[in-house]
Chain A
Amino acid sequence: MAAVSGLVRRPLRQVGGGTAPQCPRATPAHPSSSLSILLSPCQVSGLLKRRFHRTAPAALQVTVRDAINQGMDEELERDEKVFLLGEEVAQYDGAYKVSRGLWKKYGDKRIIDTPISEMGFAGIAVGAAMAGLRPICEFMTFNFSMQAIDQVINSAAKTYYMSGGLQPVPIVFRGPNGASAGVAAQHSQCFAAWYGHCPGLKVVSPWSSEDAKGLIKSAIRDNNPVVMLENELMYGVPFEFPAEAQSKDFLIPIGKAKIERQGTHITVVSHSRPVGHCLEAATVLSKEGIECEVINLRTIRPMDIETVEASVMKTNHLVTVEGGWPQFGVGAEICARIMEGPAFNFLDAPAVRVTGADVPMPYAKILEDNSVPQVKDIIFAIKKTLNI
């Protein structure tokens, strides 16, 4: 078991460095970035197909990976108590190269390689936080966090409450979450609903580079346990980095959603990678005269339902989009809350959810592609809601 899981857990350098044995659907790196990547022909064509998300031409382009790296670097520099621990975070530069260069800069004391012991090192991280340090605990993927979920929930999330406000736990748990490419059922689960369920935790889910940097910095500075659900397929995607995001004090408030695209006909709410799909769907629909308002939740808990409500009260229609399973998911929560609030009376049609398929993630490409929400699925749901 150790050998097999070791193999799977160490993705064969498919993102961020070295050669890939096959051409994965992993996102290609930006050609002008400082990463030395050997781009295979299929990656180049992927590059040409891939759209860059930008609002204005010729600004600074930063990948999500580099944004998280910058955010952590700045916080490590700012506060001595911050440190990073996890599997392969130090000498390997991070399984997905997110922590590249940090060990070289900060050394063994601040960047710690752990053995493969999630429950053990997550507990150690929580204990260190209780004793006053500010750890960043990386899970190689959130699938492995299930081994340690007791420490996240029972030792971290609940402690401030159980102690009557005596014992805070200033810790960040981060790592890639949700579907990747061809990694099958045990490595593709989305944990937004699981962690979002628990009072005492904060859960953030960045989409863009700006999101990633602002949220990781806010998470590290927050005195509460924060779970940051990243996305492996987004690590290599470049985004325009606005000027304010380049500041060392750039923070995105936890608990505030962002309207990525203004619209009038329908509200489309999403988090993480599907936000990009929603924007693509919106572009397609715009040609048909349908203007979608796309909301990037950014935070799962505490959820900014007010922004969604205000939007629904304007557009009268709602579609939620997420990568996770439908039952008890993020979309289900949004719909329930809309029903309970003032926006219900403004709905002209029932709210609709677009989610991952209700199956463990299959391996074969055609099956995998149809197990996650595609742009066409979002377009279909929007049109159904609008009765078009």
Chain B
Amino acid sequence: MTPSRRPAVKAWRLRGHLKETCGHPDGVSPAFGSCRNPHCLRSMRKMLAAVSRVLSGAAQKPANRVLVASRNFANDATFEIKKCDLHRLEEGPPVTTVLTREDGLKYYRMMQTVRRMELKADQLYKQKIIRGFCHLCDGQEACCVGLEAGINPTDHLITAYRAHGFTFTRGLSVREILAELTGRKGGCAKGKGGSMHMYAKNFYGGNGIVGAQVPLGAGIALACKYNGKDEVCLTLYGDGAANQGQIFEAYNMAALWKLPCIFICENNRYGMGTSVERAAASTDYFKRGDFIPGLRVDGMDILCVREATRFAAAYCRSGKGPILMELQTYRYHGHSMSDPGVSYRTREEIQEVRSKSDPIMLLKDRMVNSNLASVEELKEIDVEVRKEIEDAAQFATADPEPPLEELGYHIYSSDPPFEVRGANQWIKFKSVS
């Protein structure tokens, strides 16, 4: 059992042992103590090391990348991720990434929060407490959480109307989001905007007109470049919007002026009820930027999204100009709450994605299998998240609607108060900035 001193060989041997003896699939490297096989080389070695530490009482040099944490979890683990298809790029994002326990728990909690928040919105909509438009993003959690993980809070993000997840990852609370959906004064836009018009610091909505947000995003990127602060703007649109003319106008100007804009196509295979094959002459959305380099990313794998985002952000920050990412993802709900979502796709397809590619399940399995967390611990997080959502929903249902007197508020910014006409000439509302 004399281990080789060279780390690469050590790793290779361990991998071989793990695969053949313990049956761990290639690429998954379990950390200390997670393998149940009593004959596992690694487990035995570590156990002996731990025993000898206790006996000797001497400070032990920690083994390469594996520390003994409380409750015996690993501090981090390395995972292999899918290679991205590239367009006009020599190299892409790395194919392995390190996930720390702390980050993993954070991502899990965030994705679970988005999931449960969207399901709660579904429930509230069916109870008619939410009205109008409601476009849910359950299934696409890896996109909003993964993108956020790859950028800084000082970077900027703009998206279209399937925006609740991004509103949360950009910093607003579930309370404010649900209260905006229910149209109450505690909503993030004071009930004035609703589902599609939520704003936060460095988050520009929530935009209702398909495709209009893309030139806006290029403009925000122009401001980033103008201000010289090394910030980037993530400009999202869907596979349906990808055929809008103004997007190509934005591509042209962004490339011409080398704007630090990351164009991101969230391809969930359907633009409302129209599948990508029926809408686009070319469904290689990552290539549609033509002269703009692009990459196609597995949008159901949060680590893949994170790495790709880091790569794209670094590209933009280096002053090379815009870049395009296509995130291949899936939405479980229909286009909106008025669309059951099964007239243009089969229930079997939805079920297949749920069982094989669910982003939360994928992260959970990885974390449990590499001893970054236990099943119980993640269940605890589930319980906490449910409670948080429940409290938020309570608030969103109980909070009063905005006062009628404020109907005319916020027409203009920074102006003295003036009068706004109501439904007839005798009804006047005061308008305050």
Point out which of B199, B209, B214, B219 has the most chain A C-beta atoms below 10 A from its C-beta: B219
How many angstroms between the C-alpha atoms of A170 and B433 in the bound complex?
A: 14
B143 CB → nearest A CB, Å:
21
Knowing A115-B256, A123-B212, A168-B414, say if A163 contacts B193 (CB, 8 Å): yes
Asked whether A370 is an interface residue with its Cβ less than 8 Å from the other chain, the reply is: no
Asked whether B250 is an interface residue with its Cβ less than 8 Å from the other chain, the reply is: yes
Residues in A258-312 with C-beta less than 8 Å from chain B: 302
Knowing A120-B250, A165-B410, say if A132 contacts B223 (CB, 8 Å): yes
B229-258 interface code vs A (CB 8 A; 1 in, 0 out): 000010000000000011001101100110
Among A64-72, A90-98, A148-156, the stretch that binds chain B is A148-156
Asked whether A119 is an interface residue with its Cβ less than 8 Å from the other chain, the reply is: yes
Q: Let me know if B219 and A123 touch, CB within 8 A.
A: yes
Asked whether A161 is an interface residue with its Cβ less than 8 Å from the other chain, the reply is: yes
How many angstroms between the C-alpha atoms of A170 and B218 in the bound complex?
A: 17
Knowing A124-B250, A167-B199, say if A200 contacts B411 (CB, 8 Å): yes
How many angstroms between the C-alpha atoms of A131 and B187 in the bound complex?
A: 22
Q: Let me know if A126 and B208 touch, CB within 8 A.
A: no
Q: Let me know if B189 and A163 touch, CB within 8 A.
A: yes
Q: Let me know if B410 and A155 touch, CB within 8 A.
A: no
Knowing A124-B218, A127-B220, A127-B223, say if A115 contacts B410 (CB, 8 Å): no
A368-381 interface code vs B (CB 8 A; 1 in, 0 out): 00000000000000
Q: List the count of A-B residue pairs having beta carbons below 8 Å apart.
A: 147
List residues of chain A with CB within 8 A of the CB of B252: 115, 117, 120
Asked whether B145 is an interface residue with its Cβ less than 8 Å from the other chain, the reply is: no
A110-137 interface code vs B (CB 8 A; 1 in, 0 out): 0010110101111111111111110000
Point out which of B217, B220, B224, B233 has the most chain A C-beta atoms below 10 A from its C-beta: B220
Residues in B171-196 with C-beta less than 8 Å from chain A: 187-193
Knowing A115-B252, A120-B246, A128-B222, say if A163 contacts B199 (CB, 8 Å): yes
Size class of the contact patch on chain A: 35 or more
Q: Let me know if B253 and A117 touch, CB within 8 A.
A: yes
CB contact between A164 and one of B188, B218, B256 (< 8 Å): that residue: B188
B13 CB → nearest A CB, Å:
53
Q: Let me know if A164 and B253 touch, CB within 8 A.
A: no
Q: Let me know if A127 and B420 touch, CB within 8 A.
A: no
Q: In the complex, how many residues of chain B place their beta carbon closer than 8 angstroms to a beta carbon of chain A?
A: 50
CB contact between A120 and one of B193, B215, B226, B418 (< 8 Å): that residue: B215
Identify the closest chain A residue to B200 (Cβ). Answer: A166
Asked whether A162 is an interface residue with its Cβ less than 8 Å from the other chain, the reply is: yes
Q: Let me know if B207 and A155 touch, CB within 8 A.
A: yes
Identify the closest chain A residue to B215 (Cβ). Answer: A123
B219 CB → nearest A CB, Å:
2
Asked whether B158 is an interface residue with its Cβ less than 8 Å from the other chain, the reply is: yes
How many angstroms between the C-alpha atoms of A83 and B219 in the bound complex?
A: 13
Q: Let me know if B412 and A202 touch, CB within 8 A.
A: yes
Q: Let me know if B205 and A154 touch, CB within 8 A.
A: no
Knowing A117-B249, A121-B215, A223-B413, say if A162 contacts B223 (CB, 8 Å): no
Asked whether B204 is an interface residue with its Cβ less than 8 Å from the other chain, the reply is: yes
How many angstroms between the C-alpha atoms of A126 and B223 in the bound complex?
A: 11
Knowing A154-B208, A302-B418, say if A160 contacts B249 (CB, 8 Å): no
How many angstroms between the C-alpha atoms of A127 and B259 in the bound complex?
A: 13
How many angstroms between the C-alpha atoms of A340 and B192 in the bound complex?
A: 29
Asked whether B216 is an interface residue with its Cβ less than 8 Å from the other chain, the reply is: yes
How many angstroms between the C-alpha atoms of A132 and B156 in the bound complex?
A: 12
Q: Let me know if A163 and B192 touch, CB within 8 A.
A: yes
Q: Let me know if B215 and A151 touch, CB within 8 A.
A: yes
Asked whether A31 is an interface residue with its Cβ less than 8 Å from the other chain, the reply is: no
List residues of chain A with CB within 8 A of the CB of B333: none
Asked whether A145 is an interface residue with its Cβ less than 8 Å from the other chain, the reply is: no
Q: Let me know if B220 and A154 touch, CB within 8 A.
A: no
B170 CB → nearest A CB, Å:
13
Q: Let me know if A130 and B189 touch, CB within 8 A.
A: no
Asked whether A365 is an interface residue with its Cβ less than 8 Å from the other chain, the reply is: no
How many angstroms between the C-alpha atoms of A132 and B229 in the bound complex?
A: 13
Asked whether A49 is an interface residue with its Cβ less than 8 Å from the other chain, the reply is: no
Asked whether B425 is an interface residue with its Cβ less than 8 Å from the other chain, the reply is: yes
List residues of chain B with CB within 8 A of the CB of A124: 215-216, 218-219, 222, 250, 253
Knowing A121-B253, A126-B219, A340-B425, say if A166 contacts B199 (CB, 8 Å): yes
Q: Let me know if B209 and A154 touch, CB within 8 A.
A: yes
Identify the closest chain A residue to B247 (Cβ). Answer: A120
Q: Let me know if A166 and B156 touch, CB within 8 A.
A: no
Asked whether A18 is an interface residue with its Cβ less than 8 Å from the other chain, the reply is: no
A93 CB → nearest B CB, Å:
20
List residues of chain A with CB within 8 A of the CB of B256: 115
Q: Let me know if B415 and A130 touch, CB within 8 A.
A: no
Q: Let me know if A130 and B204 touch, CB within 8 A.
A: yes
List residues of chain B with CB within 8 A of the CB of A200: 411-412
List residues of chain B with CB within 8 A of the CB of A154: 208-209, 212
Knowing A164-B189, A302-B418, say if A224 contacts B412 (CB, 8 Å): yes
Q: Let me know if B209 and A150 touch, CB within 8 A.
A: yes
B416 CB → nearest A CB, Å:
10
Asked whether A199 is an interface residue with its Cβ less than 8 Å from the other chain, the reply is: yes
B415 CB → nearest A CB, Å:
7
CB contact between A122 and one of B205, B208, B215 (< 8 Å): that residue: B215
List residues of chain B with CB within 8 A of the CB of A120: 215, 218, 246, 249-250, 252-253
Asked whether B409 is an interface residue with its Cβ less than 8 Å from the other chain, the reply is: yes
List residues of chain A with CB within 8 A of the CB of B209: 150, 154-155
How many angstroms between the C-alpha atoms of A128 and B256 in the bound complex?
A: 17
List residues of chain A with CB within 8 A of the CB of B409: 165
How many angstroms between the C-alpha atoms of A151 and B250 in the bound complex?
A: 13
How many angstroms between the C-alpha atoms of A121 and B192 in the bound complex?
A: 28
Knowing A155-B207, A199-B411, say if A131 contacts B224 (CB, 8 Å): yes
List residues of chain B with CB within 8 A of the CB of A155: 207, 209, 212, 216
Q: Let me know if B190 and A127 touch, CB within 8 A.
A: no
Q: Let me know if A162 and B222 touch, CB within 8 A.
A: no
How many angstroms between the C-alpha atoms of A127 and B205 in the bound complex?
A: 11
Asked whether B197 is an interface residue with its Cβ less than 8 Å from the other chain, the reply is: yes
Knowing A119-B245, A164-B193, say if A224 contacts B413 (CB, 8 Å): yes
List residues of chain A with CB within 8 A of the CB of B191: 164
Identify the closest chain B residue to A154 (Cβ). Answer: B209
21 CB < 8 A contacts A-B: A114-B253, A115-B249, A119-B215, A120-B215, A121-B215, A127-B218, A127-B223, A128-B226, A131-B220, A132-B227, A133-B223, A151-B212, A151-B215, A154-B212, A155-B209, A155-B212, A163-B205, A165-B190, A166-B199, A199-B411, A200-B411
Task: Beyond A123-B215, A127-B216, A131-B233, list 4 extra A-B contacts (CB 8 Å).
Answer: A120-B252, A123-B212, A167-B204, A199-B411
What residues of chain A have their CB less than 8 Å away from a CB belonging to chain B?
83, 109, 112, 114-115, 117, 119-133, 150-151, 154-155, 159-168, 170, 199-200, 202, 222-224, 302, 340
